[in-house]
A and B are shown apart, each in its own frame.
Chain A
């Protein structure tokens, strides 16, 4: 109890509260600007945290990153430009809702279920941390391989386009993931002697190019879409309670998947959103409505990615192993502030631990009022002529890709992927599937090759270990299901034909 009161005192310091507020606004603004990502928001905070008290430094990172992940949904919804990779899974759905004249409902879902997801994730972080950490540590490369493979298969589920085009895009993404020297053999591949390509293609730069730059190019060619009817935006939270009642299973499932995937080192919020969106579609009673501005998938994926943001801190705090790119930066800050990750953080620094939990809760609660203000401000862009907005978007793309690594090559990458994304869209290839390939490619290859090295070339351990067996069964079932379904349909169809 004493440690708990001490934690509240730590969080109640004016400098900490002020930091939470300012960092939240900063995170919202950075996340909402197309082209600027949550990881970049966190990286830019590091030099400032150097001058803060330990708790304030953690508060800054927690608040800014959580807000940025939510705010990434805003440009996705209004302009079809996702702010972060975690929003890319359901951008089309949210944008379709906006075109149908329901921007407040779409953004409300993102906000409401993000905040709830964040709170559930925080509770999981505080109650289940040791259990979750044990679960994460039971994953070896064999299990990661299946997990990443399962992630890849979401490509066909998420896309509205033909499955063949979705798979082609995903394979192109895998080919792009081959670039660079960061592969198991440590041999430079497809670098053409360009030093900048040694590190591979930066996912953020590619994402900005394919979604934002290509969208700008599209806007220059197509006439302005009919303006969304001018009217006052309705209440943002209205209808959310009804949705919560209507989709309780989807929400809970999203939270659970988010917590589990987030706690696995290296998986993170992006993967959680993809998997949740495709689970939602697969188990929905109305899968045909997906992609036409249907709230169900948004509820589940929104609930999932913010739960993952919180649970990604589990392996980071307990074992010093980052759950995603944001916690990778956060671990450095924790060390710098003498809050060394590890079990001693829970025993010797228990009050700091409780303080971190409290910060997560506060940040997710103030996300609702701050988010409403942000949505109201941001939705003004629907009234501004598109030509003006697109110029600003292009500028932000350049700034955003440059700022995370101070590297001009990132801007070239974004431009190149703008062209690629534009061409693909023209011919009906879903760019989201390609992003998935780029994100998962390294993970699939790395875990496959290292697993084979470890097993001296035997594939048996891929199905022998208990957890890998479960994941393998799931993957193969998902792979074979369309074929089986097709066969059943054909037989039934044939039966009907005969009887007729």
Chain B
């Protein structure tokens, strides 16, 4: 296998640089990992992606017997960090957390980077969109909200949750289209993330907010807002009273803001295997389960090739919605 890989590289690379890379890979193959690993996070310290990365890094450390250091590479709305992962040496010593934005940004013309620029390792989390309404407002459940939306003229009902064309906007569009409505039947009010949108919902400035259930948790517990639906295949044990879209309306539509681990393209097969094994053990560990549960994060595990397939189909689906949005 090792020899095949080297022959392959020598044949396609046809240059001193590639040959050198081949030699270096083979020396790394001696005992991977033999030095600390860097895990790049494209988002800031303290956020959900950062917390997931730090949690899995601490567990992988035990499996790989080498330190796994989390580095936040922020800037450029996530482009900078994602590009840092894709352009690192594919030696297994730089891996990173890729998020749903990687399947969206290239359609939006923000970057050339796409899922094809990575060696997918494993999908870890997917948070489905949830719909939140004001607790003392006119909508007591999804049914009343859906009826009100259908009855209202286009653009009357106002929703928010993230920026224009962000993941929660796309999640909402999916639901509207599944109900046979146009994607802009509900007007989207762009916001800088879910926190200001939830605040504005509580202040009475919006009709509904579409963002993940954990992001609305504190306000829901305070009795200011309520979460009426989860666009996922099954209920979340942290929010046992929130029905899925299928249960509430019989609509079979799911979506999610996902995050997973990936490495630069052309990662040697034995390194991929070693990493996958460590990720597998870490994902199944009690600690990781407790972490996901305490935060209310939706776990979803697609190792290796399955993650590649998943990213591909996500990219296609996002592309269609984003094109429709851009034409409008």
Which one of B44, B83, B295 contacts A405 once the chains associate, using CB atoms below 8 Å? B44
Per-position binary interface string of chain A over residues 65-105, scored 1 when its CB falls under 8 Å from any chain B CB and 0 otherwise: 00000000000000000000000000000000000000000
| B63 contacts chain A at the CB level, 8 A cutoff | no
Q: Which of B90-98, B199-207, B256-264, B279-287 contacts A (4 or more CB under 8 A)?
A: B199-207
Residue B270 at the chain A interface, CB threshold 8 Å? no
Chain B 106-126, CB within 8 Å of chain A: the 1/0 string? 001111000000000000000
Whether the pair A406, B76 counts as a contact (CB closer than 8 A) is no
Q: How far is the CA of A199 from the CA of B78 in the complex (A)?
A: 8
Known: A195-B83, A446-B192. A405 touches B73 (CB 8 A): yes
Q: Are the C-beta atoms of A186 and B163 separated by less than 8 Å?
A: yes
Chain B neighbourhood of A409, CB < 8 A: 75, 80
Q: Which residues of B contact A319 (CB under 8 A)?
A: 198-199, 202, 218-219, 222, 224
* Docked pose: A192 CA to B121 CA in angstroms: 33
State which of B111, B196, B205 has its C-beta within 8 Å of the C-beta of A266: B196
B224 neighbours in A (Cβ, 8 Å): 137, 319
In the bound complex, residues from chain A placing their C-beta under 8 Å from that of B51 are 332, 335-336
Q: Confirm or deny: B195 has a beta carbon within 8 angstroms of a beta carbon on chain A.
A: yes
Q: Bound state CA distance, A289 and B147, in angstroms?
A: 64
Q: Is there an interface contact between B190 and A43, defined as CB atoms closer than 8 Å? A: no
A141, A186, A265, A340: the one contacting B164 at CB < 8 Å is A186
B58 sits at the interface (CB 8 A)? yes
| Complexed CA–CA distance, A141 and B108 (Å) | 27
Of the candidates B76, B160, B166, B223, which one forms a contact with A199 in the assembled complex, judged by CB atoms under 8 Å apart?
Answer: B76
Q: Does A338 contact B (CB under 8 A)?
A: yes
Residue of B nearest to A264 (CB): B199
Q: Given that A405-B74, A406-B72 are known contacts, is A318 also in contact with B218, CB under 8 Å in the complex?
A: yes
Asked if residues B58 and A454 are in contact (CB atoms below 8 Å), the reply is no
Residue of B46, B190, B202 touching A450 (CB-CB under 8 A): B190
Bound state CA distance, A369 and B205, in angstroms? 47
A458 at the interface (CB under 8 A from B): no
Contact of B165 with A by CB under 8 A:
yes
Q: Choose from B164, B192, B218 the contact partner of A185 (Cβ within 8 Å).
A: B164
A442 to B191, CA, bound (A): 11
Chain A 321-335 near chain B by CB (<8 Å), digits 1 or 0: 110000011111101
Say yes or no: B45 contacts A454, CB within 8 Å. no
A380 on interface, CB distance cutoff 8 Å: no
Q: Write the nearest CB–CB distance from A129 to chain B, whole angstroms.
A: 12
Instruction: Return chain A residues, CB-CB under 8 Å to B72.
Output: 43, 405-406
**Given A140-B204, A141-B200, A454-B205, does the pair A46, B76 have CB atoms closer than 8 Å?**
no
Residue B187 CB within 8 A of the other chain: yes
What residues on A are CB-neighbors of B221 within 8 Å? Answer: 342-344
Q: Interface residue tally of chain B, by bracket?
A: 35 or more
Within 8 A of B (CB), among A302-348: 315, 318-322, 328-333, 335-336, 338, 340-344
B132 CB within 8 Å of chain A: no
Stretch at the interface among A176-184, A218-226, A428-436: A176-184
* Option from A197, A315, A407, A450 in Cβ contact (under 8 Å) with B74: A407
Residues of A with C-beta under 8 A to B217: 320, 340, 342
Q: Are A141 and B205 in contact (CB under 8 A)?
A: yes
CA distance A102 to B196 in the complex (A): 43
A15 at the interface (CB under 8 A from B): no
Write the A456-484 contact mask toward B (1 if CB under 8 angstroms, else 0): 10000000000000000000000000000
Chain B contacts for A331, CB-based, 8 A: 46
Q: Is the CB of A137 within 8 A of B203?
A: yes
Chain B residue with the shortest CB-CB distance to A315: B199
- Among B46, B80, B163, max chain A CB count under 10 A is at B46
Q: Which of these, A195, A335, A454, contacts B79 with CB under 8 Å? A: A195
Chain B 37-65 interface residues, beta-carbon cutoff 8 Å to A: 44-48, 50-51, 54, 58
Q: Smallest distance from the beta carbon of A181 to chain B beta carbons, Å?
A: 5
B216–chain A nearest beta-carbon distance, Å = 9
Query: What A residues does B13 contact at CB under 8 A?
Result: none
**Is A286 part of the binding interface, using a Cβ–Cβ cutoff of 8 Å?**
no
In the assembled complex, the Cα of A50 lies from the Cα of B222 at a distance in Å of 27
Smallest CB-CB separation from B219: which chain A residue?
A319
Interface pair A181/B77, CB less than 8 Å apart: yes
Annotate B147-183 by CB proximity to A: 1 below 8 A, 0 otherwise. Answer: 0000000010010100111100000000000000000
Establish whether residues A407 and B75, one from each chain, have CB atoms under 8 Å apart when the complex forms: yes
The answer to whether A329 and B45 touch across the interface, beta carbons within 8 angstroms, is: yes
CB of B99 to closest CB in A, whole Å: 15
- Residues facing A in B272-298 (CB within 8 A) are 294-295
Known A140-B200, A199-B76: A332·B45 in contact at CB below 8 Å: yes
For residue B28, CB closer than 8 A to chain A, the reply is no
Check A237 for interface membership: any CB of B closer than 8 A.
no
The answer to whether B70 touches A138, judged by C-beta atoms less than 8 angstroms apart, is: no
Q: Which residues of A contact B196 (CB under 8 A)?
A: 265-266, 321
Question: When the two chains form their complex, are residues A338 and B294 in contact, meaning their CB atoms are under 8 A apart?
Answer: yes
Bound together, the chains give a CA A167 to CA B34 distance in angstroms of 58
Asked whether, in the complex, the Cβ of B206 is within 8 Å of the Cβ of A139, the reply is no
Are A454 and B189 neighbours in the complex by a CB distance under 8 Å?
yes
Taking each of A47, A265, A333, A450, which has the highest tally of chain B beta carbons within 10 Å of its own beta carbon? A450
Contacts of A442 in B (CB 8 A): 192
Cα–Cα distance between A335 and B217 once the two chains are bound (Å): 11
Q: Does A18 contact B (CB under 8 A)?
A: no
B19 at the interface (CB under 8 A from A): no
Question: A186–B80 contact, CB under 8 A?
Answer: no
A132 near B: Cβ within 8 Å? no
Q: Which residues does chain B contribute within 8 Å of A138, judged by CB atoms?
A: 203
Q: Does A350 belong to the interface (CB within 8 Å)? A: no
Determine whether B71 belongs to the interface, using a CB cutoff of 8 Å to chain A: yes
The interface residues of chain B lying within 8 Å CB-to-CB of A372 are none
A406-B195 contact in complex given A195-B83, A198-B110, C-beta closer than 8 Å:
no
Are A198 and B74 neighbours in the complex by a CB distance under 8 Å?
Answer: no
Cα distance A450–B187 in the bound complex, in angstroms: 11
A315→B71 CA distance, assembly (Å): 29
- Beyond the given pairs A139-B203, A186-B190, 8 more chain A to chain B contacts, judged by CB atoms under 8 angstroms and listed by A's residue number, are A50-B58, A182-B192, A188-B110, A199-B75, A320-B219, A405-B74, A450-B160, A454-B158
Q: Using CB atoms and an 8 Å cutoff, list the residues of chain B in contact with chain A.
A: 44-48, 50-51, 54, 58, 70-77, 79-80, 83, 108-111, 155, 158, 160, 163-166, 187, 189-192, 195-196, 198-200, 202-206, 217-219, 221-224, 294-295
Nearest 3 CB-CB pairs, A to B? A332-B46, A320-B218, A186-B164
26 A-B contacts (beta carbon < 8 Å): A46-B45, A50-B54, A137-B203, A140-B203, A182-B77, A184-B163, A186-B165, A186-B166, A188-B110, A195-B79, A198-B79, A318-B218, A319-B222, A320-B218, A322-B195, A332-B45, A332-B46, A332-B48, A332-B50, A340-B217, A340-B294, A409-B75, A446-B190, A450-B160, A453-B187, A453-B189
